Amino acid sequence: MKTDRSLIRQRTVSWLTLFTSTGTLICCALPILFVTVGLGAAVAAASSAAPFLVTLALHKGWVFAGSGLMLLWSGWLLYRPGRVCPSDPEAGRLCARALRWNRRVLGVSAVIWSVGAFAAYLALPLRIWLGS
């Protein structure tokens, strides 16, 4: 029974991590990217249609810190010492499958978070630095 709870907790944390890292992309990276390529009107329209995006963007430091902590927590749960699958063949197969999917979700989440962090914190300073 403990293994079932562990799998449910890991799955929940993995999907929550994917959700929070995608939130960083939506709130901060995509608007910056759109404005950079000259689609400021699209950002204005999205902001008026979904005003919560402005609130997320105003607090992007907290958004990135929270999602980064979720990534670290998910990584620790996934790669922690002593993590083993059950010896029962069926439960072991399901555990191995869940482990593969959790690693994929964590990888996708890390890539999304990295793209968001680059766009939110490094893209504009690099553009200014290279342009001068």
Cα–Cα dist 131/75, whole Å: 38
Cα 115 to the chain's mean position, in Å?
A: 10
Interval 21-80: pLDDT, tens: 777 666 766 777 777 777 778 878 877 887 877 777 788 888 888 888 888 888 888 888
SS (H, E, C) 96-129: HHHHHHHHHHHHHHHHHHHHHHHHHHHHHHHHHH
Domain boundaries, the chain: 2-131
Structure pTM? 0.68
